[in-house]
Amino acid sequence: MSNIDIHLLTEQLHSKASTKRRSAAKKLRKLKAKDTGPALLEALKSELKDKRTWETQYHMIMALGESGYTDSLNFLQQIAKQDFEATMVLTAIGDAVTNLELLENHKQISLGKWIDTNNQALIEGGIRTLATNQLIPDEILIRKIISYAQNSGSGNVDFWAAAASPGWPTQLTQKFLEHCLEYSLLDDTKKAAKAALKGKYLKWRPL
């Protein structure tokens, strides 16, 4: 995509129509271009003023995470402390923050804190980006994630933890994955667990 096309998309982020702003964010998300970060951050700050446009907010946040624009990390960490009626916005924040923290300092700092405070939407997003990017956290965080997944009662958390775990130490994941394979009510969780037990990553595409 040319610079002219990218410029048109960043301009579209300020369209009067939420559908057009959302469409632009989705396209920029696929581009994964760092130089789109400032425009996305500016547009997001404006978008957050209207809770009705949560879908557009979701895709703008995901686009920021995909862009690798680490200058947005502090802002995203701050809004992670807010309450959102649409919890999918928090899931996107969890996803983007975890991804950007890895780029910034090679650690996933916030995810462990979210687990300690039981913020499920943020946790789901954080684990999701570990899965989609095939990331291997340190052993302490892996233990936290597995323990949380085992006790959360959330099918989505179970699924993403299973999907994230193929490259994690087998001694930490095997019992959890075998439990998912035997007892999960979700076919995708069973599929992810079966693959993980073989050390195989599958490709998953979050919304």
Q: What's the pLDDT tens digit per position in 182-197?
A: 999 999 999 999 999 9
Q: What is the pTM of this model?
A: 0.93
pLDDT for 1 beyond 60 = no
Q: What's the pLDDT tens digit per position in 44-102?
A: 999 999 999 999 999 999 999 999 999 999 999 999 999 999 999 999 999 999 999 99
Give the pLDDT of residue 75: 98
Give the pLDDT of residue 155: 81
Give the pLDDT of residue 18: 95
Q: What's the pLDDT tens digit per position in 123-154?
A: 999 999 999 999 999 999 999 999 999 998 87
The domains of the chain are located at 1-106, 137-207
pLDDT for 4 beyond 80 = no
pLDDT for 26 beyond 90 = yes
pLDDT for 3 beyond 80 = no
pLDDT for 104 beyond 90 = no
Give the pLDDT of residue 152: 86
SS3 assignment for the chain: CCHHHHHHHHHHCCCCCHHHHHHHHHHHHHHCCHHHHHHHHHHHHHHCCCHHHHHHHHHHHHHHHHHCCHHHHHHHHHHCCCCCCCHHHHHHHHHHHHHHHHHHHCCCHHHHHHHHHCCHHHHHHHHHHHHHCCCCCCHHHHHHHHHHHHHHCCHHHHHHHHHHCCCCCHHHHHHHHHHHHHHCCCHHHHHHHHHHHCCCCCCCCCC
Give the pLDDT of residue 105: 79
> In whole numbers, what is the pLDDT of the chain averaged over residues?
94
C-alpha–C-alpha distance, residues 205 and 128, integer Å: 10
